[in-house]
Amino acid sequence: MDIHEIIFVPLILFMIFVAPLWVIMHYRSKNKISQGLTEAELNQLNALTLKAEKMAERIKTLEAILDADSPRWRTQHDQ
């Protein structure tokens, strides 16, 4: 039995069964990635954005209160 005969059969089986499935699955995953966010993911992103904006406002308010009560708090806590 020649080395070419040993490699020939698995190579043909690979090309018939595995390679087409591999290509199909590859392009299916590429298509899903290029579609972007799902509606649920977009809603979650919008909710997180609103929470982040509210948190930023709260931080500004807290910093304003600290500036009024203790003007040197920034220099004491930056170290």
Cut 0.85: pTM above it: no
As a whole number of angstroms, the distance between CA 57 and CA 70 comes to 20
At residue 74's C-alpha, the angle toward residues 68 and 77, to 5°, is 130
Average pLDDT for 38-46? 91
Side chain identity at residue 41, one-letter code: E
**Per-residue pLDDT at 78:** 66
